[in-house]
Chains A and B, each alone.
Chain A
């Protein structure tokens, strides 16, 4: 078939032989005898498209897009979660959110977590990935083991860590045993320490993911480039700085994007550790926790929905800024043209 058409762009539809690109189809009209078959083929193609894509699109619209739209709608009401919302309050919920000192707190926490995640995990992951990218014994075992924290659910991680970090837990006992008893502290309940405890746990949980991504990125760099640099007499550090890091750029930028979005959405870990074992959230509360507390727990769904919208807008703005200025090159075409 490709012989008769003499082109690879044919998308393989046997009966009509329409070239792949839609535009091209209009510029190269099919031979007249084929027109009827062509029309039948098109109808059939439409049907197939509809049948194959409808389930996914309907599910996606109904359970992802529609709820987000609904949040925007409920956000304008003072709504208790039952019956039709009637108590229109306009932008009042948003005014309350933006002027609530508690919201400023959670926003600050999310921002701090975002920045610290990037600053701590990024360089650490790159260094560890460079180390592990060498041919050392047991490399694949190491790769499996460092990924374990990422695989275990937040609930289990949170439960385990909170038991270890209680004031009479294993963490303090260990410090005591190795002669660092003076460092013992109430890691979870002390409001000054809590955010750093959270950062330590976040780093522990997600660093493996970052390292694995960076390793994957490193391994996609062709060896020939390193060989060429070595032949030219570049030192190890020159190679890392001038070749590895730039070529690892796309991986780093994508990881950072995932990390940023994750930081803004953080919920499970904080809720499990601080919601369960400590009264109050000891200075670690996040936007998502605020949303749950104000919305569902207080029965004020209108307000909760407005918080969700604020979170969404913040995520969207951050994501758009990031894509515009950082990811532009990596994602060009991926989202807009559908060519990955």
Chain B
């Protein structure tokens, strides 16, 4: 590597070859660091992952193993804890609730967010700036601050202990981020496309559904993922709104389960592992999008 990069630095002539050499150039001056780099990177990854592994592996142990050797590997591996949880209707009920809440919230966030972002991005009217500012300011109203009165509003609407009481506020609180991310995406759609669609006789709403939605898909996916993960992990709102176990979502279920079975650590760890699995799977599928979306959000 050093040979090729040196050449490319020494002779600026073969410019066309630049694309392959570009990134290498940046690493060159600290080439000495590569072993140190790997070591630190691995250490960092280890620190990030170890607690998660502890939870997952802990589920494969027995309570006596955990008591006698808290930091050991499972010996022997037992799958009973996981099987018990997978057979329990409580877990699957909470899983289903989480899924319903997350999917509905995400759909709502995307649909309402896309509609209002389209208006802000591509219509001209007096209140446009105010509308954008309203949602931008909403970033400063995190759910924690509004939770007490929000609970009272939900109570007045008769939505306490109802999944809708979680879904609707989640949509509302998801909108600011959605608008902030989607508006630049929608604005970036070239006017020529809209004009061509208009010439072909497409109405503005037709343009919205047939052109805007597909073209802003990367932004929509990003927003959808953020909404889904946020909803899946939300704890505060379910804590306030849901009070019968049949309606619990997984985060609430984990907390209740771990206090109910506080002496059965292995089972708590198994329950916890299974509860984090969906988010991890979802994340690993959409990892590129999440990271890309965050980049977009920061640039915005």
Contacts and interface: CB of A to CB of B under 8 A. Distances in A.
A60 B140 contact: no
Nearest to A219: B295
Contact of A147 (B23, B113, B287): B287
Contacts of B49: 145, 148
A14 B144 contact: no
Nearest to A45: B123
B153 A67 contact: yes
A305 B145 CA distance: 9
A53 B119 contact: yes
Nearest to B45: A145
A268 B236 contact: yes
Interface in A130-186: 131-137, 142-149, 151-157, 159-161, 163-164, 168-174, 177
Contacts of B41: 131-132, 136, 142
A213 interface: yes
Nearest to A79: B152
A199 interface: no
B266 to A, nearest CB: 10
A136 B184 contact: no
B223 interface: no
Nearest to A316: B140
A156 B275 contact: yes
A31 interface: no
Give the size range of B's interface with the partner. Answer: 35 or more
Main secondary structure of the interface of B (DSSP, over half): helix
B24 interface: yes
Contact of B129 (A71, A235, A276, A337): A337
Interface in A209-233: 209, 212-213, 216-217, 219-220, 223, 226-227, 230-231
A287 to B, nearest CB: 9
A36 interface: no
A128 interface: yes
Nearest to B252: A155
Contacts of A335: 132-133, 136-137
Interface stretch (A101-109, A187-195, A307-315): A307-315
Contacts of B133: 335-336, 338
Question: A53, A227, A337: which has the most chain B beta carbons within 10 Å?
Answer: A53
Interface in A105-123: none
Contacts of A151: 229, 279-280, 283
A173 B258 CA distance: 21
Interface in B258-277: 258-259, 265, 268-269, 272, 275-276
A45 B129 CA distance: 17
Contact of A148 (B52, B150, B175): B52
Given A59-B172, A170-B71, A163 B58 contact: yes
A63 B205 contact: no
A208 B233 CA distance: 17
Contacts of B294: 209, 212-213, 216
Question: A52, A254, A265: which has the most chain B beta carbons within 10 Å?
Answer: A52
Contact of A296 (B108, B125, B183, B240): B240
B71 A63 contact: no
A15 to B, nearest CB: 8
A71 B146 contact: yes
B145 A152 contact: no
Contacts of B58: 163
Given A136-B37, A164-B54, A230 B9 contact: yes
Interface of B: 9, 22-30, 33-34, 37-38, 40-41, 44-45, 47-49, 51-52, 54-55, 58, 67, 69-72, 108, 111-113, 115-116, 118-120, 122-126, 128-129, 131-138, 140-142, 144-153, 168-169, 171-173, 175-176, 179-180, 183-184, 187, 191-192, 194-195, 198-199, 204-205, 208, 229, 232-233, 235-236, 240, 250-252, 254-255, 258-259, 265, 268-269, 272, 275-276, 279-280, 283-284, 287, 290-291, 294-295, 298-300
Given A71-B146, A160-B52, 4 more contacts: A151-B279, A155-B251, A213-B294, A311-B144
16 contacts: A10-B195, A63-B168, A64-B138, A135-B24, A142-B41, A144-B283, A146-B45, A149-B48, A154-B233, A170-B54, A220-B295, A230-B29, A267-B236, A272-B235, A276-B255, A312-B141
Q: Which A-B residue pairs are the 5 nearest by beta carbons?
A: A14-B198, A153-B233, A63-B172, A12-B194, A56-B116
